[in-house]
Amino acid sequence: MRFMIAALCAVFLIVGGASGQESTRGSQVQGTSSDNLADVGKPVKVGGRYNATVPTYATGDRADSQVTSRGLQRGEWRPSNQADEVIDDSDKALTVPAATEWTIQSIRVELITSADAGARQLAIQVRDAADDIILEMIVGDTQIESLTRIYNFFPGAPDLTAERDTTSYTTPFPVLVLPTGFDIRVFDNNAVAAAADDMVIQMLVLAREDLG
């Protein structure tokens, strides 16, 4: 039994020595470079590698885990607010940027209608990169001239067909993952005064790099 234990310890020390430096305790494997230093040799490490441009690998290549310039794992979802606050426009689209994916969490729209007479009806379309409509959601009520209304879209929201507290609506919206080039179009379905009404959009998304 003592012979087996000694043999195992010897193997462990050999592995540690071949990979970097032996610790004084003889029970740890250490590399030759610390965090946030240039890579030296072939140290044993747990972490990832930052590349300004993500490498392309061939079949069978061994690949390092990829991290951002801040050392965060690439491909992780992170919260981001996408906003459009330009006035005199009630037909807007927010587009998923290049090399990015979005998961829509919620959309808040403030619509301030001008004095132009007519019933507006807010709608949202999800479109692909060729502007084909993937999904369309239409609010179950209309808004006339010279009013301010708040519209909230999120998963599980009650489908209100009348204002709550005189100004607010909620409409259910599914959880979607949108690839690069897809967009969210928010607009007045009746196009009463697209160049005169004011629309402010705040859209909360989870965003990640599309490394494909």
Total structural domains in the chain?
2
Q: Domain of residue 156: give its range.
A: 78-209
Same domain, 24 and 88: no
pLDDT in the model for residue 27: 62
* Mean pLDDT estimate for the chain: 85
The whole-model pTM stands at 0.72
Same domain, 101 and 196: yes
Same domain, 99 and 184: yes
pLDDT in the model for residue 211: 65
Same domain, 127 and 178: yes
Same domain, 134 and 110: yes
User: Which residues, listed in sequence order, are joined to residue 60 by a DSSP beta bridge?
Assistant: none
Whether residue 100 lies inside any domain: the answer is yes
Check if the beta carbon of residue 111 is closer than 8 Å to that of residue 120.
yes
Please list, residue by residue across 45-75, b when 16 or more beta carbons sit within 10 angstroms of its beta carbon and e when fewer do: beeeeeeeeeeeeeeeeeeeebbeeeeeeeb
Same domain, 6 and 94: no
Whether residue 72 lies inside any domain: the answer is no
pLDDT per position as a tens digit, 155-174: 999 999 999 999 999 999 99
> For residues 39 and 32, what is the distance between their CA atoms, to the nearest angstrom?
9
Chosen domain end from 67, 89, 117 = 67
Same domain, 130 and 61: no
Whether residue 73 lies inside any domain: the answer is no
Same domain, 22 and 88: no
pLDDT per position as a tens digit, 71-109: 777 778 999 999 999 999 999 999 999 989 999 999 999
